[in-house]
Amino acid sequence: MTLAELSRNTAFRLAAMFVSLYSGAMIVAFLIAYWQAGNLLDRHLLDRLSETRDALLVVATRDGFEGLRGVVQSEAAAIRTSDTILRLLDKSGATVAGNAASVEIFQGVRRIPRASIPEMAGRASYEDSFVARWIDVAGGKLLVGVSDRDEQATRDSILAGLGLGIISVLGVAGLAGIWLANRAQSHIDAFGKTLEAVSHGKLDRRVPMTGRGDDLDQVAERLNSALDRLSRLIERVNQSSSAIAHELKSPIGRLRQRLERLPYSGSTQTSEEIVGAALAEIDRVVEIIDAVLRISQIQAGARRNRFTPIDLAELVEEVAEVYEPVAEEAGLALVCQPPMTNGRILGDPQLLRQLFVNLIENAMRHSGGGRTITLSLDQDHGDPVAVVADDGAGIPEEERQRVLEPFARLDASRSTPGAGLGLSLVAAIAELHGARLVLGDNAPGLSVRMHFRRQK
Amino acid sequence: MHILIVEDDTETASYISEGLRREGHTVDAIEDGRDGVVQASAMSYDVIVVDRMLPGLDGLALVKAIRSAGVRSPVLFLTALGGVDDRVAGLEAGGDDYIAKPFAFSELLARVNAIARRPPLREKETILKAGDLEMDLIARTVRRRHDLIDLQAREFRLLEVLLRNRGRVVTRTMLLERVWDFHFDPKTTVVETHISRLRAKIDRPYDVELIHTVRGTGYRIDDAR
């Protein structure tokens, strides 16, 4: 990953933001600590200065000016006094002892860099300062100064510690950010590659999942289920468009044959018969196209604007009444089974009529030795469930979902006239009404249960 | 009858006009929707046949325009295939009936005849008659030669639709729409079955048959043989 890519990476940007906020807060905290430690060290330094001064004042009181001169002289000569500056003046202002003759009299406490005192500059390899003051002693004046070297060293080591801490925090957080970003990026790259492959027609490709169940995994899961639906949809569209073409091919083929025969005399059919048959084929084609257009219009859902309150029980009874004699003529019994519970729903009565007619006609056509078609209305948690059942051949379980798709017909019933659009129209109408369609075994026969939603 | 056709597809337009002229009607054909409004408002037509999709002004807007201009001529819409919403939209715009393309000419003719203006029926017509058959719309009774005939509600409605179009053909599709509110083509013999049940009650016991089958088209109730 290049730096430019890194800066666009969400995880990295988050990590970088977090690191800078965190280190900002840390720096503020460190500055406060450093400032307080500095105050403490300064007080400590002043205490040492006072201690040294007090010790020398004790000598002056006890041994007099001369005794003090002896102590200052021996102190100044000692090697370790490179950490202390002293200068003793007599009443006339002449230097009588000490190691810092160049430091003039001043008021109060001063910090004097070692480099500015020629006598001391060469005596140590480090750069420190002296905190010094002039005091009055009996018989003269005395300069006392102590090196801040220890305090300076402590200050430096605190600063170094804090600095190192910040740098290591920044480093660790930065590295973690890059690592996290890389990990997220490799996932997202995998998403991108998969989607690219899918868009190039490899519909079986899926986004990899880590199994950690994190947010990226959740996105991957949703992406995969969307891809599943998409590929099923595309498969269905492919299947149904080829099925529609197939379905149209045969009546158009027959139509062509019939019209070809028209000009030849000597045909066993009169031209009137041929034209009649040709018109019937055209009606067949028109019917298929009409059904396909109807299904797509219903699926588009525009009819929902025209929903009105309907009593399903009334509607089912009405359709049953129309079809009872029709079924009877076909040698079947159509039974509207009580109890027909109240089934108030919102819907389109014309489409619902077509739904029940299609189911009844489907049951009649595929009754396969059955004798009875039963219409009933159940309840499921207060929602009405309309049931159309027959005692015919039924549909094998593995075929049940497929028959709801356009033009899907069972191989066994291939010879039965009528395109396989009836049930898919039923499925489209049920879906428009938010009804769940369940094909089940009526043992023997097929039961179609439609779980509607009651009118609220 | 004087009939106006507003249809931009010249082949369909001439197919309809030729057919209607053969039936003895006078036909004006117009291709553009706006010209249609002008023409429909200028003349008093007995029936106007309007295509839903027109250049200039579409069929729905045309009918709304002529209705607001006070034109009362009955309107038959020609709609595209698969238009589940077209019927309602057409009726709401002020149309009287609709027929989906492609259609059989006999279907169009039957619908034109059914909506055509005829000598105004008295508003309070409560008795429908055909030969010696009488339907009382208030008492909801049917008599033939003074025999009271017991009909179920839907059979009554079926007979009523036929009687309201006495002497004219009512097609299978028209019956499906008007009697059962079926706006689709059932694969079974719904119409035939119910007509035969109705015949069993009102025709079979008597020597004169009133319900006539018009082959390939529909049915007609008439006392003329």
* Assigned token pair, A371: 């004798």
Top-confidence range, A84-93, A100-109, A417-426, B164-173: B164-173
Kindly indicate the confidence band of residue A75, based on its pLDDT and cuts at 50, 70 and 90: confident
* Assigned token pair, B79: 């709609």
pLDDT of A133-164, one tens digit each?
A: 999 888 888 999 988 888 888 888 888 888 88
- What ipTM did this prediction achieve? 0.86
User: Looking at residues A15-39, what average pLDDT do you find?
Assistant: 85
pLDDT of A279-332, one tens digit each?
A: 888 888 888 888 888 888 888 777 777 889 999 999 999 999 999 999 999 889
pLDDT of B17-34, one tens digit each?
A: 999 999 999 999 999 989
Distance of CA A392 to the CA centre of its chain: 51
CA distance B174 to B99: 10
Cβ atoms of B77 and B97 within 8 Å: the answer is: yes
CA distance A7 to A36: 38
- Mean pLDDT of the residues in chain A: 83
3-state secondary structure of A300: helix
- The count of residues in chain B is 225
* Assigned token pair, B136: 């009382």
B84 vs A418: CB contact, 8 Å cut-off? no
Shortest Cα–Cα distance, B183 to chain A (Å): 7
A322 vs B190: CB contact, 8 Å cut-off? yes
**Pick from A10-14, A121-125, B94-98: least confident:** A10-14
B187 vs A290: CB contact, 8 Å cut-off? no
User: Looking at residues A359-367, what average pLDDT do you find?
Assistant: 85
pLDDT, position A381? 85
pLDDT, position B89? 84
For A245, A255, A287, A288, the CA distances from A249, given in Å and listed in that order, are: 6, 10, 14, 11
CA distance A36 to A42: 10
A418 vs B193: CB contact, 8 Å cut-off? no
By C-alpha distance, the chain A residue nearest B188 is A361
pLDDT at position A408 over 60: no
By C-alpha distance, the chain A residue nearest B179 is A322
A302 vs B154: CB contact, 8 Å cut-off? no
* Assigned token pair, A400: 């049940």
Cβ atoms of A245 and A253 within 8 Å: the answer is: no
Chain B contacts of A428, Cβ < 8 Å? none
Work out the angle at residue B36's Cα, subtended by the Cα atoms of residues B32 and B41, and round it to the nearest 5 degrees: 160
Please give the torsion angle defined by the CA atoms of residues A349, A352, A353 and A355, in that order, rounded to the nearest 10 degrees.
170
pLDDT, position B109? 93
Shortest Cα–Cα distance, B74 to chain A (Å): 24
pLDDT, position B126? 86
Cβ atoms of B151 and B179 within 8 Å: the answer is: no
Chain B contacts of A353, Cβ < 8 Å? 180-182
Cβ atoms of A367 and A332 within 8 Å: the answer is: yes
> Hey, is the C-beta of A440 within 8 angstroms of any chain B C-beta?
no
pLDDT of A430-441, one tens digit each?
A: 988 989 988 888
pLDDT, position B64? 93
> Hey, is the C-beta of A324 within 8 angstroms of any chain B C-beta?
no
Q: Which string of DSSP letters, residue by residue, matches A265-296?
A: TT-SS-HHHHHHHHHHHHHHHHHHHHHHHHHH
B81 vs A293: CB contact, 8 Å cut-off? yes
Cβ atoms of A120 and A46 within 8 Å: the answer is: no
Kindly indicate the confidence band of residue B121, based on its pLDDT and cuts at 50, 70 and 90: low
Residues of chain B with pLDDT > 90, as a percent, come to 62
pLDDT of B32-82, one tens digit each?
A: 989 999 999 998 899 999 998 888 888 999 999 999 998 889 999 998 766
List residues of B whose CB lies inside 8 A of any A CB. 81-85, 88, 100, 102, 104, 152, 154, 180-190, 193-194, 197, 216
pLDDT of A77-129, one tens digit each?
A: 876 667 888 888 888 888 888 888 888 888 888 888 888 888 888 777 788 88
By C-alpha distance, the chain B residue nearest A293 is B82
Kindly indicate the confidence band of residue A416, based on its pLDDT and cuts at 50, 70 and 90: very low
pTM above 0.90, yes or no: no
A350 vs B187: CB contact, 8 Å cut-off? no
> Hey, is the C-beta of A380 within 8 angstroms of any chain B C-beta?
no
A293 vs B85: CB contact, 8 Å cut-off? no
Residues of chain A with pLDDT > 90, as a percent, come to 16
For A350, which of B82, B154, B181 is closest by C-beta distance? Answer: B181
Asked whether the CA dihedral B5, B11, B12, B15 is positive or negative, the reply is positive
Shortest Cα–Cα distance, B79 to chain A (Å): 12
B184 vs A289: CB contact, 8 Å cut-off? no
Q: How far apart are the first and last CA of chain A?
A: 57
A354 vs B183: CB contact, 8 Å cut-off? yes
